[in-house]
Amino acid sequence: MESEKAKIHPPPPGGVDAKMKDEKAYPIILLTEALTSFGAFLLSYYNFIHNNLYTIILTTMEALNVPQQICAIVLLATLLVAVFAMTVAGAFSRICQISFMLLIPSILWFSNLDWLQILELPINLQLFKTDLPFTFTLYSGLLIVSCETLHYFLFQIKRTRDELLSRGAYKADVGKVTMKQLKFSSTLTALCMLTTVTITNIAFVLKTTLQNITNQIIYPYIALGTISATITIICILAYLKVQARKSP
């Protein structure tokens, strides 16, 4: 009986102890998620403290007899506690969402479109004025989006890892597969980010030409927004179609 079991479940390469060997891939994934999330948060918070909204919050609290220094410390401490709690819970995507929320005021300022007036809100766009240059805010948003994309890949990797382990795969083998997936996902995310940076720099160089083209379009925001939404929908449908073919 033992020989038959050995044939059905052969020992992993390196001996039976390799099955119990702690894999290095999973801690690396968790560390990557934690570092990228915290980095995205710090970057977005730096954008936020240079925004006029942050100054208005401190000024308002000072009018309520709360010193600006204390208000700034309490605000930062509250956000750090929330980020730490989400890190412990493994909710790294939530940290990126907080980072987006902190970056939104600066994005609104550079949008060149008074969305608040369109929505008929009694708020002046000057509320979101920032001291940082446009390129810094742009690349900050790009890094946060890249972190969110990487987190999606890492989530899929962890799900695949758990599925393999539940089927009885050896940890050593799963660790090798996970490391390969991690390297591929990191490389793919980096290439996407570099491609976006390249396209952005080209757009800056061709700024005048692109402006002349958009000026000839009636309602350029609506037209370009419709084109972008259409492309996004097509990509989503193509992705769902590919996933449907893969499913049994």
Residues 6+ apart with CB under 8 A from 20: 171
What's the pTM?
0.71
What is the chain's mean pLDDT, rounded? Answer: 79
What does the pLDDT average to over 54-65?
Answer: 83
Which pLDDT score is estimated for 2?
Answer: 43
CB 192 within 8 A of CB 41: no
The domains of the chain are located at 22-205, 209-248
- Measured CA to CA, the distance from residue 78 to residue 184 in angstroms comes to 36
At 91-124, the pLDDT tens digits run: 888 888 888 888 888 888 887 666 666 666 666 7
For residue 171, pLDDT over 60 is answered with yes
Which pLDDT score is estimated for 70?
Answer: 85
At 125-156, the pLDDT tens digits run: 777 888 888 888 888 888 888 888 888 888 88
